[in-house]
Amino acid sequence: MQEILKNIPFFAELGDDDLQAIISKIQMEYFAADHVIFEEGDTGDKMYIIKRGQVQVLRDNTIVAVLSDNQFFGEMALVSDEPRNATLKTVTDVEVLTLDKEDFRRLLETNASIASIVSYEVVKRANANS
């Protein structure tokens, strides 16, 4: 699971101990095919990492991407109170790893190295998107 997390920009620079702290908070969820995981405009409460399956990313009911194994979505929900900017719908049965926003925020409060690296990544992403 550490290798999967290292592919996520927020976590790429974290050491093994920090990654283990995050892994301890990860939950597993399952969704059947043709299930809406969340809709554009919803409040974000967790991020998702696809362990198995395919998910469509839709904006204004148009498919803009299809995500599959080891890809992730919803990560900005961990650090922002902005609403979801797309609808995510399963194409196949999907198994995902999830990280809850509140669990993640508690990790940031108790772990300075995670907080520092994640803050840097958030600023970097915000600058890239502006």
Asked if the model's pLDDT at residue 130 lies above 60, the reply is no
pLDDT at 54: 98
Using left for φ > 0, alpha for ψ between -120 and 50, and beta otherwise, residue 71 falls in beta
Per-residue pLDDT, 75: 81
88, 84, 127, 56: CA torsion to nearest 10: 10
Query: What stretch of H or E contains 44?
Result: none
Query: pLDDT tens, 87-129?
Result: 999 999 999 999 998 988 888 888 887 778 777 777 776 666 5
Distance from C-alpha of 63 to C-alpha of 94, rounded to nearest angstrom: 18
Residue with the bigger pLDDT between 90 and 130: it is: 90
Residue 125 has a pLDDT of: 64
Alpha-carbon distance of 23 to 10, in angstroms, equals 14
Over the stretch 34-54, which tens digit does the pLDDT of each residue have?
999 999 999 999 989 999 999
User: Pairing between strand 46-52 and 27-31?
Assistant: unpaired
**Entry pTM:** 0.83
**What is residue 129's predicted lDDT score, i.e. its pLDDT?**
56
Domains of the chain, residue spans: 2-128
CATH 2.60.120.10 fits 2-128, yes or no: yes
Amino acid 109: pLDDT: 85
The SS3 of residue 28 is strand
